[in-house]
Amino acid sequence: MPSLLLLKTNEMNRLLITICAAFCCWQTVAAQQFFGKPKPLNDSLYNTLAQTPPMGWNSWNKFGCDVSEDLIKSMADAMVESGMKDAGYKYIVIDDCWQIDRDSMGNIVPDPAKFPSGMKALADYVHSKGLLFGLYSCAGSYTCQGRPGSRGHQFQDALQYARWGVDYLKYDWCSDEGQNAQAAYATMSDAIKESGRPIVLSICEWGENEPWKWGKGIGHLWRVTADIRDCYECLFDWGGVGIVNIIDKMADLYPYAGPGHWNDAEMLEVGNGGMTRDEYITHFSMWCMLAAPLMAGNDITKMSAETKEILMNKEAIAVDQDPLGQQARRFMDMGDHEIWAKPLANGELAICFMNRSELTWHLDYDWRKNAIYYAHEVSFRKHEYKVRDLWQHKDIGTSKTNLKADIPTHGVLMLRLTPVK
């Protein structure tokens, strides 16, 4: 009798163990299903990922397809060592040509010769420097350099980016195959949200489908022109444009910019050698006035003092990053001479005199005879402003006296005006 009881107890134990094991196993599977599927990002978080225009570095303008793990690491190092990180630059973005294929499961494959440690390790490296990591893809089946695009793989790719630790996605528009642009970008936007990772989406369809009209809520910034060229004023047959051409395109788009959603005037060419110092200062100043994203596009491991001075002008950057997020308006257009104004969050004003002519602009400007019409009228007759030159980094008078300056050909005078109490 006792042995029968023992046997029964043993059987009971075995049964209990089996039940427990089955329960544990079920729990693990359930847990995997529950925790393995990321929690989608909600719209309110997604929409606030770029409250000020994104700042960083992108490989394309200088290096084209010549990207590698070593190059990206050296740029991350330089971002910190040069002081650019302290000046506000934070994204390190690999543009086209990092990807080479898809595997048998359809997963995107980075070029193993160029990125032998893989993207997760590279993202970890960039993050270890206190920076953020970005990649490039394309809404079509192929990127502009003929690498695999994301069409048909958007959700799979976004999950992969999230696993790697991607923080920024530049999403291009080559081989679009007749897709509807808004729908194509909305698909990638949904895929990012499903991935659960806060990834900034940079819409890059060159302004062809007026993304400023539908991009807000889908992405955080949208290109407005074809690719920038390292020149002041130029239009290439095959689509490249100079900085003045971009500025003219941006001029009418001010209603569409604001915290979380920006008109993208293109990546910077400062330091790439095609323009004069004054032209680069105009390029940088106007991007700041236009609240444009500031993505350096030069070799930041080898910067001249002049390039550093421009890219790290903190007073100009403060205008770009102003929390009010208003894009400057061209409130006076006198042919080759223009005056742009951008109201700032604390009631101050950024003003930029831009000389497009081939001659020096001998400026003699009576503030009191020139009100600035913006959201409201800024009357220099009623109010006095302190005037600060943001490139000389010094106060140069007040609005009670005429502003006198020689603005070089293709140059600017960028000012910050503070009300005198």
Task: Return the beta strands (E) in 216-319 as ranges.
Answer: 221-223, 262-264, 294-296
Instruction: Using the rule CB under 6 A, give the single segment among 142-150, 195-203, 321-329, 351-359 that binds ligand GLA.
Output: 142-150
- What whole-number distance in Å separates Cα of residue 286 and Cα of residue 265? 10
Quick one: residue 64, left, alpha or beta (phi over 0 = left, psi -120 to 50 = alpha)?
Answer: left
Decide whether 226 or 291 has the Cβ nearer to ligand GLA.
Answer: 226
Catalytic residue check, 299? no
Q: How many whole angstroms separate alpha carbon 82 and alpha carbon 330? A: 34
- The DSSP output letter for 85 is H
CA distance 80 to 239: 34
- Among 157, 167, 172, 269, which residue interacts with ligand GLA (rule: CB under 6 A)? 172
Separation of alpha carbons 328 and 337, rounded Å = 16
What's the rounded Cα separation, in Å, for the pair 152 and 396? 58
Q: How far is the CB of 61 from ligand GLA (least distance, A)?
A: 8
* Residue 166 binds ligand GLA (CB under 6 A): no
In the complex, minimum distance from the CB of residue 276 to ligand GLA, in angstroms, rounded to a whole number:
24
Using CB under 6 A, which residues numbered 46 to 75 contact ligand GLA?
Answer: 60
Judged by CB under 6 A, the residue of 59, 67, 96, 280 near ligand GLA is 96
Q: Toward ligand GLA, which CB reaches closer, 226 or 390?
A: 226
Q: How far is the CB of 162 from ligand GLA (least distance, A)?
A: 22
What is the Cα–Cα distance from 326 to 268, expressed in whole angstroms?
20
- Does residue 95 touch ligand GLA according to CB under 6 A? yes
Query: Of 143 and 355, which has the nearer Cβ to ligand GLA?
Result: 143
In the bound state with ligand GLA, the residue whose beta carbon lies nearer, of 57 and 353, is 57
Q: In this structure, what are the phi and psi dihedrals at residue 136, rounded to the nearest 5 degrees?
A: -120, 145
Angle, nearest 10°, between helix axes 154-164 and 118-128?
A: 50
Which residue of the chain is nearest ligand GLA when measured via CB? 144
- Catalytic position from the list 190, 227, 336, 389: 227
- CA distances from residue 22 to 10, 25, 27, 77, 108 in whole angstroms, order as listed: 18, 5, 8, 51, 36
Tokens coding 142: 């192929």
State the Cα–Cα distance between residues 408 and 381, nearest whole angstrom. Answer: 29
Residues 180-209 that bind ligand GLA (CB under 6 A): 204
Indicate whether 111 belongs to the interface with ligand GLA (CB under 6 A). Answer: no
Q: Does 144 bind ligand GLA (CB under 6 A)?
A: yes
Contact 145, 96 (CB under 8 A): yes
**Which residues from 317-376 bind ligand GLA, rule CB under 6 A?**
none
Query: Among 47, 51, 141, 145, which residue interacts with ligand GLA (rule: CB under 6 A)?
Result: 145
CB of 288 to ligand GLA, least distance (A): 21
Instruction: Establish if 246 lies at the interface with ligand GLA (CB under 6 A).
Output: no
Which of residues 227 and 336 has its CB atom nearest to ligand GLA in the complex? Answer: 227
Mark the segment that binds ligand GLA (CB under 6 A) among 18-26, 141-149, 294-302, 322-330.
Answer: 141-149
What is d(CA 213, CA 253) in angstroms, rounded to the nearest whole number?
10
Q: Residue 170 in 3-state DSSP?
A: strand
Restricted to residues 267-306, the positions that interact with ligand GLA (CB under 6 A) are none
Task: Tell me how far apart the alpha carbons of residues 98 and 88 are, in angstroms, rounded to a whole number.
Answer: 26
> Nearest Cα to 75, choosing from 267, 302, 266?
302
Q: Which is nearer to ligand GLA, 227 or 309 (CB)?
A: 227
Total residues at interface with ligand GLA (CB under 6 A): 10
Whichever of 92 and 312 has its CB closer to ligand GLA, that residue is 92
| Annotated catalytic residue within 157, 172, 176, 299 | 172
* Burial group, residue 39, by CB count within 10 angstroms (0-12, 13-18, 19+): exposed
Complex with ligand GLA: residue 68 or 143, whichever CB lies closer: 143
Residue 136 beta carbon to ligand GLA: minimum distance, rounded to whole angstroms: 6
Q: How far is the CB of 145 from ligand GLA (least distance, A)?
A: 4
Q: How would you label 125-145 residue by residue, b for 16+ Cβ within 10 Å and e otherwise?
A: bbeebebbbbbbbbbbeebbb
Residue ranges in contact with ligand GLA by CB under 6 A: 60, 95-96, 136, 143-145, 172, 204, 227
Task: Give catalytic residue positions.
Answer: 172, 227
